[in-house]
Amino acid sequence: MNSGREVSDGRLTVEGFSVAARAFADKWKIHNQSFPPWSWVPLINRTLHLSNQQEEGYLSLEEILILSSLEESPEDESLNVATDCLEKEESVDHTILVQNQENEAHYYDFHIVYSSSYKVPVLYFRGYCSGGQPLSLDVIKKDLPSCSVSLLHESKWTFITQEHPYLNRPWFKLHPCGTEDWIKLLSQSSISTGCQMPVDLYLVSWFSVVGQVVGLRIPLEMLN
């Protein structure tokens, strides 16, 4: 496994994840200003001897208001975003607000966590009503744009329920078993053009695929 600043085998070290996560968050903040930024959540009680005094942690997307329009055309099924409405709502950490067909508020939390077993990032998420009741996977799929549901059916991605590795609560996660393989393909494609994928672009490339599954797309400028 490459431990430097480039990726060739599809996997990341803990240190590489820290570098890639911060680079992803910085690019998101610059090129995706319609969304609030991703936040780095340090794991205070998990000290690792990473170089440059980097700390172990994970990324969290906080306080995003997403309105699912019932009048969207098939050509534009990505979720509409409105952040100014948050000032009128009670502040809730790590949440996304989805307006579904029944006009019932649905909240979503998204975390990008490093898997020490697979040595790749993993997307964890959960959905719940305004009263705190958790949403079933069937309800969550109804909140997703139809293109995201189609991607789930057509691909090998699977959602499974598993305890969050740091919060000790049930969350859904997008199973990471195929991540190494398709990231490796992207890396080999970069090598064929005379260069390797830099670690800084790892999470950007990864989320350009994974984000679509949950209805979140990244601007193409982030891939540059």
Summarize pLDDT for 156-210 with one digit per residue, the tens. Answer: 667 788 889 999 899 999 888 777 777 777 666 554 455 667 888 899 989 988 8
Give yes or no: 177 in active site.
Answer: yes
The DSSP secondary structure of the chain, one letter per residue, reads: ---SSEESSS---HHHHHHHHHHHHHHHHHH-TTSPPEEEEE-TT-----GGG---EEEEE-SEEEE--TT--TT--SPEE--GGGGGS---TT-EEEE-TT--EEEEEEEEEEETTTTEEEEEEEEEETTSPBPPHHHHHHHS-HHHHHHHHHSS--EEEEE-TTT-SEEEEE--TTHHHHHHHHHHHHHHTT-PEEGGGHHHHHHHHHHHHTT----GGGG-
Name the catalytic one among 85, 129, 177, 195: 177
Q: What would the pLDDT profile of 44-99 be if each residue is shown by its tens digit?
A: 765 554 555 567 899 999 756 544 444 344 444 455 443 333 343 444 444 455 54
pLDDT value at position 27? Answer: 95
pLDDT value at position 129? Answer: 82
pTM of the model: 0.77
